């Protein structure tokens, strides 16, 4: 009986093992099993109803990154299935192993498109491939650095369905990129560390720039760029086109504000030179130019105190070449201040000073004549030559009588500096130290000085009201609604502006005695006849005596708000004339205002009563004198005779 148990036991074991093996062999779907059919090039299947080839290149698969994996480790839905398996397979979920990347991709623009069912949306295999996935380090991989532009370009090129049918905010991306410095470095110079699309957009977390988590969101751009351009703030130009690069202190601006995202231009920055290299020679006091012997000594501390203290020598003296032993020998041009101060430079070029300088006229001042060279101080610094109270002296250097600008001047203004100093503006500025008073630059502008005849000039009569109106705004408003402007006073004659009555440089207080009397001659310059008639009236005669406490032109007509009488707002309109008289004549009534303020007895047509009264009285006077005079003349000899007679009688 024992031998029979052993024989049964052995059989049992074999059966169990066979049973185990059978399912194992039938369960072990080896890749070879798959390749048995799928290596056939003619093998087709259906995908979404369409017939597609389902051949898999066994060689390439075995060279790929996934060579050690089984088919069913990715095609999970085929696990344990019998042959032949279902045709419609679920798409492979790469996130089974690559969960991190899958998570990023799902949240990305591409992932959302897939979720929406967008047919153009890229799946993992669209970029990486499916069965022939190579490492990114492999040059042949579509996701290797040099291939990425072409990979992305498959969809993001002009003419593709994606570029035509989807909203892509940039165009000609690949074309621009290939021309840019990044593209040239990557594609032409083979610099594989140069940025490709994924460097900025990331590989899997591609988000639109409007998404705050995107690597290309505005506030993230600096972080993205500084991944390579680390510490850019140390070397980036601080002043660009006259403005600070860093708008906020220590906050990098969005690079794409200046550097177009795909068109990053090619700029070659010259080799820099440190200040101390310059000063090695230039801080020697005896240093002189060989051409004309002028001193080339630069006091380093001048720059330290100046506004340019943070700017390197070579940033202004841009022509230096550090590779030369004497770097300054390559300097061809004078310092061009407008390379940073662009707007001011543009103004200056158009100005009279700039025009003179362009003609190489030595009388034309350049930037350094007024602002200095190394010790440039800001205009709010009282030590600066351009500080408000110092400006008259600055301009006087040339524009004082006898100095070089005054001797060439052909206009009508003389003794400008002397007069300005005595004027109300000059006194306010220089005696009272009121820095907001009008100085030369307030009216003539600092960099845009132009002669009066130039229509762009701030002192051209057309522009004078707005120039003065920069401070005297209320008066400008009044004046521009008054009759002395073209819109209201439609006339061919020359209309006055501020400087005609107030003068240009001898502006005095309007309540000063001299000004008040002077203004009447000013009005009289244009309004000759009517000014003469004013002087025939009581008001006029009193003012001729030199007293101002009487009605003068502007007391009745207004000063800046003169309007035609027909306008009800005029001081002399029918509605308002009585109140104008009542300013001095409190008890005046309507008829009082019937007084003829500009009446003259010389005009029989306009004022017949006055004319005839005058001639009546004059005739009476003449008649009386004729009679009295003749009587006296006739009496005279007789009277003399009587006197002689008396003398004779008394002797």
Partner 1 sequence: MESPKNTTEAREYVRFSRLNRLLHVIMIVSFMSLALTGMTLKFSYTGWAVMLGHIFGGFESAGYIHRLAAVLMIGTFVTHLIDLVRRKHREFKSWRALILGKDSMLFNKKDLHDFRDSIKWFVGRGPRPQYGRWTYWEKFDYFAVFWGMMVIGSTGLMLWFSEFFTRFIPGWFINVATIIHSDEALLAVGFIFTVHFFNTHLRPEKFPMDIVIFTGRMEIEELERDKPAEYKNLIETGTLEQHLAEPYPPIVIKAIKIFGWTALSLGFSIVVWIIYAMLFAYR
Contact residues: partner 1, CB under 8 A: 532, 535, 537-538, 541-542, 544-547, 549-550, 585-589, 591-596, 599, 601, 607, 609-610, 613-614, 617-618, 620-621, 624-625, 628-629, 631-632, 634-640, 642-643, 646
- Nearer CB in complex with partner 1: 297/595: 595
- Residue 505 is encoded by which pair of tokens? 């440089």
- Residue 242 is encoded by which pair of tokens? 């006259």
- Residue 204 is encoded by which pair of tokens? 């899997």
- Residue 244 is encoded by which pair of tokens? 């600070």
We find the least distance from the C-beta atom of residue 648 to partner 1, in angstroms, to be: 13
Contact 372, 385 (CB under 8 A): yes
- Nearer CB in complex with partner 1: 297/615: 615
- Nearer CB in complex with partner 1: 33/536: 536
To which residue do tokens 């010259």 refer? 270
We find the least distance from the C-beta atom of residue 564 to partner 1, in angstroms, to be: 21
Question: Around Cβ 452, how many Cβ atoms within 10 Å?
Answer: 16
We find the least distance from the C-beta atom of residue 514 to partner 1, in angstroms, to be: 15
Contact 252, 222 (CB under 8 A): yes
The values of phi and psi at residue 433, to 5°, are: 65, 30
- Nearer CB in complex with partner 1: 131/539: 539
Contacts 24+ apart (CB under 8 A), 233-237: none
Write b or e for each residue in 485-494: b if 16 or more Cβ atoms lie within 10 A of its Cβ, otherwise e: eeebeeeeee
- Nearer CB in complex with partner 1: 436/620: 620
Write b or e for each residue in 347-384: b if 16 or more Cβ atoms lie within 10 A of its Cβ, otherwise e: bbeebbbbebbeeeeeebbebeebbeebbbbebeeeeb
We find the least distance from the C-beta atom of residue 556 to partner 1, in angstroms, to be: 14
We find the least distance from the C-beta atom of residue 592 to partner 1, in angstroms, to be: 4
We find the least distance from the C-beta atom of residue 544 to partner 1, in angstroms, to be: 4
CA distances to 552, 600, 601, 610 from 607, rounded to whole Å, are 22, 7, 7, 6
- Nearer CB in complex with partner 1: 136/599: 599
We find the least distance from the C-beta atom of residue 636 to partner 1, in angstroms, to be: 7
CA 480/CA 560 separation, integer angstroms? 8
- Nearer CB in complex with partner 1: 83/625: 625
3-state secondary structure 290-337: CCCCCECCCCHHHHHHCCCCCCCHHHHCCCCCCCCCCHHHHCCCCCCH
- Residue 10 is encoded by which pair of tokens? 């052995």
- Among 344, 346, 350, smallest CA distance to 456 is for 350
- Nearer CB in complex with partner 1: 17/620: 620
- Among 204, 192, 98, smallest CA distance to 139 is for 192
- Nearer CB in complex with partner 1: 83/538: 538
We find the least distance from the C-beta atom of residue 583 to partner 1, in angstroms, to be: 13
Cα 332 versus chain centre, distance: 30
Q: Is 400 helix (H, G, I), strand (E, B) or coil?
A: coil
We find the least distance from the C-beta atom of residue 569 to partner 1, in angstroms, to be: 23
Alpha helices per DSSP H over 108-231: 109-116, 124-128, 148-153, 161-165, 173-179, 181-183, 197-201, 221-225
We find the least distance from the C-beta atom of residue 553 to partner 1, in angstroms, to be: 17
The per-type count for the chain, helices as H runs and strands as E runs, is 34, 4
- Nearer CB in complex with partner 1: 316/565: 565
CA 536/CA 595 separation, integer angstroms? 13
We find the least distance from the C-beta atom of residue 483 to partner 1, in angstroms, to be: 24
Packing angle of the helix pair 109-116, 99-107 (nearest 10 deg) = 80
Helix (H) or strand (E) holding 475: helix 473-479
Residue 248, beta-bridge partner list: 251
We find the least distance from the C-beta atom of residue 612 to partner 1, in angstroms, to be: 10
- Nearer CB in complex with partner 1: 384/537: 537
- Nearer CB in complex with partner 1: 287/634: 634
We find the least distance from the C-beta atom of residue 617 to partner 1, in angstroms, to be: 4
- Nearer CB in complex with partner 1: 231/650: 650
Contact 163, 192 (CB under 8 A): no
We find the least distance from the C-beta atom of residue 464 to partner 1, in angstroms, to be: 33
- Nearer CB in complex with partner 1: 447/601: 601
For the chain, the farthest-separated pair of C-alpha atoms sits apart, in whole angstroms, at 220
């Amino acid at each position: 009986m024992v031998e029979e148990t052993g024989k049964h036991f052995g059989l049992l074991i074999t059966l169990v093992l066979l049973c185990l093996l059978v399912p194992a062999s039938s369960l072990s779907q080896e890749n070879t099993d798959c390749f048995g059919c799928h290596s056939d090039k003619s093998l087709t299947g259906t995908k979404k109803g369409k017939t597609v080839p389902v051949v898999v290149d066994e060689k390439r698969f075995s060279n790929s990154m996934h060579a050690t994996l089984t088919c069913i480790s990715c095609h999970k839905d085929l696990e344990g299935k019998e042959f032949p398996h279902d045709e419609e397979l679920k798409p492979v979920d790469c996130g089974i192993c690559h969960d991190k990347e899958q998570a990023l991709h799902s949240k990305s623009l591409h992932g959302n498109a897939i979720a929406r069912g967008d047919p153009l949306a890229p799946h993992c295999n669209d970029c990486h491939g499916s069965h022939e996935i190579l490492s990114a380090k492999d040059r042949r991989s579509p996701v290797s650095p040099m291939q990425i532009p072409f990979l992305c370009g498959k969809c993001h090129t002009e003419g593709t369905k994606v570029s035509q049918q989807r909203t892509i905010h940039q165009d000609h991306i690949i074309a621009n990129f290939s021309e840019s410095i990044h593209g040239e470095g990557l594609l032409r110079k083979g610099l594989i560390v140069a940025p490709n699309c994924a460097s900025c957009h990331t590989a899997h977390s591609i988000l639109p720039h409007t998404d705050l988590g995107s690597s290309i969101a505005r506030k993230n751009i600096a972080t993205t760029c500084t991944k390579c351009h680390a510490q850019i703030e140390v070397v980036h130009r601080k002043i660009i086109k006259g403005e600070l690069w860093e708008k906020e202190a220590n906050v990098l601006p969005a690079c794409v504000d200046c550097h177009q995202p795909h068109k990053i231009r090619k700029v070659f920055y010259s080799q820099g030179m440190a200040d101390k290299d310059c000063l090695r020679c230039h801080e020697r006091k005896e240093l002189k130019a060989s051409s004309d012997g002028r001193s080339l000594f630069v006091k380093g501390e001048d720059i330290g105190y100046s506004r340019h203290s943070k700017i390197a020598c070579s940033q202004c003296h841009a022509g230096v070449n550090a590779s030369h032993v004497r770097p300054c020998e390559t300097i061809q041009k004078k310092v061009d201040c407008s390379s940073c101060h662009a707007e001011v430079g543009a103004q200056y070029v158009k100005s009279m000073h700039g025009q003179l300088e362009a003609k190489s006229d030595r009388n034309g001042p350049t930037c350094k004549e007024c602002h200095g060279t190394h010790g440039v101080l800001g205009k709010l610094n009282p030590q600066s030559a351009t500080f408000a109270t110092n400006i008259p002296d600055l301009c006087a250097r040339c524009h004082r009588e006898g100095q070089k600008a005054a001797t060439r001047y052909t206009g009508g203004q003389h003794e400008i500096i002397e007069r300005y100093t005595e004027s109300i503006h000059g006194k306010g500025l220089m005696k009272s130290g009121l820095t907001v008073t009008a100085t030369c630059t307030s009216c003539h502008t600092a960099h845009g000085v132009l002669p009066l005849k130039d229509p762009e000039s701030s002192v051209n009569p057309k522009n004078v009201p707005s120039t003065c109106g920069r401070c005297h705004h209320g008066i400008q408003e009044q004046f521009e609604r008054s009759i002395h402007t073209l819109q209201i006073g439609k006339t061919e004659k020359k209309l006055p502006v501020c400087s005609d009555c107030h003068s240009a440089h001898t502006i005095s207080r309007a309540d000063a005695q001299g000004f008040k009397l002077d203004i009447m001659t000013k009005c009289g310059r244009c309004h000759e006849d009517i000014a003469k008639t004013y002087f025939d009236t009581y008001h006029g005669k009193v003012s001729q005596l030199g007293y101002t406490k009487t009605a003068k032109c502007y007391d009745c007509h207004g000063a800046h708000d003169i309007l035609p009488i027909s306008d009800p707002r005029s001081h002399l309109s029918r509605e308002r004339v009585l109140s104008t008289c009542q300013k001095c004549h409190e008890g005046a009534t309507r008829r009082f205002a019937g007084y003829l303020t500009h009446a003259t007895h010389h005009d029989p047509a306009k004022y017949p009563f006055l004319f005839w009264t005058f001639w009546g009285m004059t005739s009476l006077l003449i008649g009386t004198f004729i009679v009295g005079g003749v009587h006296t003349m006739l009496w005279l000899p007789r009277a003399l005779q009587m006197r002689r007679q008396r003398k004779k009688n008394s002797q």
